[in-house]
Amino acid sequence: MARRNSVHQAFILAILLLATLINSATAWTVHPKMHIHMINNLWPGTPLNLHCKSGDDDLGWQVVSYNEEYNWTFSDNFFRTTMFWCNLNWLGGDHKRRWQSFEVYSKSVKCDKNCLWSSRGDGIYFFDYKEQAYFRLFNWNYV
């Protein structure tokens, strides 16, 4: 009978320990926080419209003024499968709308803890920390 009680107590203790670990895991992340920066470097008076989302979070439409940025912070999931993508558009002086849609964060996007994206008149640039410079990765599509 004493053996049965000790097995029962060990089972209860294991359940309590597991519950404590699960509860503390919500406050602890395996991966560092990531910061995404979407910068409008178009022209003075030209707003950049953007809509960014992941499988879990929809950040909604944002309007970013010239030389301003929209940014957000998140923690990648345990398996490092988090992916954010954005739809960007703006109206040029010729009254043609330019747009582009692309992944701003995923396994294939290599950035430090900060992913810097710069929207310019000739395309969308990504900051390469290794080279310490921006490189154009995407051209604008026209509507």
Angstrom distance (rounded) from CA 46 to CA 97: 12
Q: Is the pLDDT of residue 123 over 90?
A: yes
What's the confidence (pLDDT) of residue 12?
67
Angstrom distance (rounded) from CA 35 to CA 74: 7
Tell me, rounded to whole angstroms, the distance of Cα 9 from its chain centroid.
Answer: 45
Confidence of residue 1 (pLDDT cuts 50, 70, 90): low
Tell me what the pLDDT averaged over the chain comes to.
Answer: 87
Q: Which residues make Cβ contacts (< 8 Å) with residue 96, sequence separation at least 6? A: 142, 143
Q: Is the pLDDT of residue 21 over 50?
A: no
Q: Where would I find the H helices in the chain?
A: 2-25
pTM of the shown model: 0.77
Give the tens place of pLDDT for each residue, 26-36: 445 567 899 99
Residues above pLDDT 90, as percent of the chain = 66
What's the confidence (pLDDT) of residue 117?
98
Q: Which of 43-52, 56-65, 100-109 has the lowest mean pLDDT?
A: 100-109
Q: Tell me the average pLDDT across 63-87.
A: 94
Q: Is 49 helix (H, G, I), strand (E, B) or coil?
A: strand
AA identity, residue 85: W
* Strand positions, DSSP E, the chain: 33-40, 48-54, 58-64, 69-75, 84-91, 97-105, 114-120, 123-128, 133-138, 141-142
Q: Which residues make Cβ contacts (< 8 Å) with residue 90, sequence separation at least 6? A: 42, 46, 47, 48, 49, 97, 98, 119
Give the bridge partners for 46, in sequence order: none
What's the confidence (pLDDT) of residue 88?
99
What's the confidence (pLDDT) of residue 23?
40
